[in-house]
Structure 1
Amino acid sequence: MNQPVSSLRCPQCNLLNFASEPFCKRCKINLQETRYAGEANTVNINISFPTGVQPRINAQQNGVGANTPQFAQMPPVDYAPTSEYQLQNQIGFEQWQQANVPVNTRSYPPPPAGYPMQSPTVWRRGGELVIHRYAGTLPDRCVKCNEYISDYSSGAYIKQKYRWHNPLVYIALISPLIYVILSLVLSQRVEVDIPLCRRHLEARKSTGNYLLGGGVAAMIAIFFFGSFGYIGFAFLIFFASLIGLTLGFEYSYKPLQISKIENDYVYLKNANNEYLSGLPNC
């Protein structure tokens, strides 16, 4: 006849032992002394033994000695476990799994009113792409041409950083130093994994090389004209190159441009219309 046996978790090495075990099988500490010290660490699991097989017992009552383990008679060689025994232990194993599976307690805030609940991370709103900044994952199609990305040879996801602040901060441009300070303090930053096909990946790489070359050429021109006393012309080249490189990086190098960040939702624009048509509206 089968009998259920509870279990006891070792407070030192966290090993799950039978409740009748006097010592931990791994670290050998006395489990009976800590049996009632932390009931929160005890997990009851229904594990049964077939007839003739018993767990270790305290043999003090038999006069062998305190806390000296003994074993019951082993089953015969030709013994086969019954289906009831197998089912009982399968249930016990499932209970052990449930007791040891970590629980993800992190939850994301619900989307604002008007967002469709059938897609909790990515939507479209008109010509804009809306994605949750923490849980959003874009479909594996190129955002520029809607080509399917099946493996690395056909494309890849690139990690693009974005920064956004309220447009009212631009009023501080009357003092560039104040604007720089406010933009650094008030800007929200986010990283988005954007899928691109192989053709647009190569185009993005070429654009980055052009921008790098333009920056180096601008620095050489500034030092050249400055060394000959054309300070005003050097400043003109500096500001022109700064504006040009910034706009080129924002609108040519980045696959998508950020529109705003609101309530942990990122709004991106300039995605392919066919790509957007495959997303739910919001």
Structure 2
Amino acid sequence: MNKTLSLVLCLILMLTLASCAGETETQSDAEATALAESAADTTEETSAEKTPLYDGTLKFDAEKAYNKLLDNYYKLIANPENEALYFEGATGIIEAVCSLGDEALNTIGYAFLDIDSDGIEELFIGILSKNVESVKNELYAVYTHNGEKPVLLLEGMARSAYSYIGKQSFFYHGSGGVAYSFFGEYVFKDETLVPKYYYFTYGRTEEFRKIGFYHNTGEQLDKPVSGELLGTSDEFFALQDELAQKTVQIENIKFSDFKVDNY
């Protein structure tokens, strides 16, 4: 009987140990899963903390953010005959430098202006001045910043010119010959320029013997999608002059004062 009892006790002990081992293994698995989930949560939190350089929580450093771009503009203005220095957004600068010659570095400048009050300053490049009598503002390029790199908003030149008229808006005007003149207003929104309205002249007949005046709410030199304006040429261009008079004078930093890298 003692042998039988001993055998039964041994069997019970073995079953108990096996049960404990199973519970320990199950508990270990649960703990491992919990640790893994905790680690994943920590990783997600860490990733969430890795925000873009300029996300509204840090002060935007315009000098640093646009430094490389300004460096490229300086080198181009100082050495415009070197085509290897040309890049997108520089057409207006190249055109201006050809007429300004050696005075380009002392005439063309840049400025930082947060036009939509989001904490990120836009970069204005052109002939800028607060003295209305001395020079009319001409914008050759305007950039915003998406937190990672500069984004070109506009490129101005003689026959396709821009000026800033305040309230996130730009006045645009140009011509494509005697029969074509156009002007309008663009509004800065969501890192791009959106046309508010667009005015243009176009031949009322295929022979262009008589010029008509048209407008639409998009950048379209297209009569079928535009409404015709009734009035004289003087009245039409008075609208253009009215917009031009809204130009905001901006104090600039001349490129001759820019500290260029490795030049």
Scaled by the length of structure 2, what TM-score is found? 0.26
Task: Answer 1 or 2: higher relative contact order, Cα 8 Å, separation at least 6.
Answer: 1
Structure 1 or 2: more strand by fraction: 2
Scaled by the length of structure 1, what TM-score is found? 0.25
